[in-house]
């Protein structure tokens, strides 16, 4: 159970699932939509989500090949949780950032003698 939770609980998986919530996207569209993700990390994330049965990868025979990604019915069952988590993070972002600044200001990093 922990292995599955750690997989779908990582930030990239959550962001990819959120982007696919009501549409099919191509790799380049996902790469633009998920800010900060490298092409390699996006590839690894998509492969893992496909392996877990949370999204489908459809290759269209064209030049160059077009690849689309979409949530499966199983992947769609995560949407309520992913959206709620995103809304919580947005609502509390400033409070968390303020707490981090206060903590960092009062906790000096320890150095070794």
The vertex-77 CA angle with 24 and 61, nearest 5°, equals 25
Q: Token pair for residue 52?
A: 């877990």
Give 26's DSSP letter: E
Domain positions in the chain are 2-106
pLDDT score of 42: 97
Average pLDDT for the chain: 89
Cα separation, 89 vs 94, whole angstroms: 9
What band does 83 get if pLDDT is binned at 50, 70 and 90? confident
Over residues 10-53, the pLDDT tens digits come to: 889 989 999 999 899 999 999 999 999 999 999 999 999 999 99
State the pTM of this model. 0.78
Domain over 2-106 is classified CATH 1.10.10.10:
yes
Q: What is the residue whose two structure tokens read 């809304």?
A: 87
Q: Is the separation of the CB atoms in 59 and 18 below 8 Å?
A: no
Cα separation, 78 vs 32, whole angstroms: 22
Over residues 92-103, the pLDDT tens digits come to: 999 999 999 999
On the question of pLDDT at 88 being above 90, the answer is no
Helix (H, G, I), strand (E, B) or coil at 73: helix
């Amino acid at each position: 159970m922990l292995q599955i939770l750690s997989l779908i609980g990582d930030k990239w998986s959550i962001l990819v699932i959120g982007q696919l919530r009501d549409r099919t996207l191509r790799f380049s569209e996902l790469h633009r939509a998920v800010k900060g993700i490298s092409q390699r990390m996006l590839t690894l994330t998509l492969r893992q989500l496909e392996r877990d049965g949370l999204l489908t990868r459809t290759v269209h025979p064209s030049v160059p090949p077009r690849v689309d990604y979409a949530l499966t019915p199983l992947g769609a069952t995560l949407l309520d949780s992913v959206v709620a988590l995103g809304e919580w993070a947005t609502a509390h972002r400033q409070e968390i950032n303020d707490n981090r600044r206060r903590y960092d200001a009062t906790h000096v990093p320890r150095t070794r003698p």
